[in-house]
Amino acid sequence: MKLIFATQNQHKRDEVQALLGNSIQILSLADLQFHQELPETHDTLEENALEKAVFISNKFSMDCFSEDTGLEIAALNGAPGVYSARYAGEGKNPEDNIQLVFQQMNEKENRSAQFRTVVCLLLKNEPHFFEGMVAGTITKEQTGVSGFGYDPIFIPEGYDRTFAAMTKEEKNEISHRRRAIDKMSAFLKKQAD
């Protein structure tokens, strides 16, 4: 089975391919020589994931999936949420985003947060949604150098270090994306039976 993963991020593609194994071949947009920005015009992760999947499925006439991920901070009423990538502006600068979160969290005692990923699989033009979440807390300073986005300021529940202070393998074992992809993988295996 071949599926397009509607992402420009080759690291995400490789991570997901490793999670899905050899029974499903994942094509990234780079594999298809498609380098345009994908549309994300909605206010929910679900709607953005669906919009990207439909856009790419229509363009290439193939089954595909996409994902949208947000960091949801309790003390900020769920922000940055769906706007996580462009929280501090359209430049999508991770450092600016982190500094804005720190600024807004300055006087807040409740530092609980969660990463949430929604995957939309478009199979024969029918959407199927899979969600993965990881609860945790927002730190008061950045630690770690691996990962991307908000990883240096998020400590997952049950751990004493940020995602950015973990190896890629450690993070992948417990990540929100992993949990959503595992659900999609189980669904695809059922379809193949």
Tell me which residues are annotated as active site. Answer: 68
Non-local (6+) Cβ contacts of 187 within 8 A are: 121, 128, 130
Beta strand ranges found along the chain (DSSP E): 2-5, 25-28, 64-73, 80-81, 112-123, 126-138, 154-156
Provide the H-helix boundaries in 21-145.
45-60, 94-105
CA 17 remoteness from chain centre: 15
Residue pair 99/93 in contact by the 8 Å Cβ criterion: no
Query: Residue 81 pairs with which residues in a beta bridge?
Result: 71
Q: Scanning the structure block, which residue is given the tokens 């990207």?
A: 52
Non-local (6+) Cβ contacts of 170 within 8 A are: none
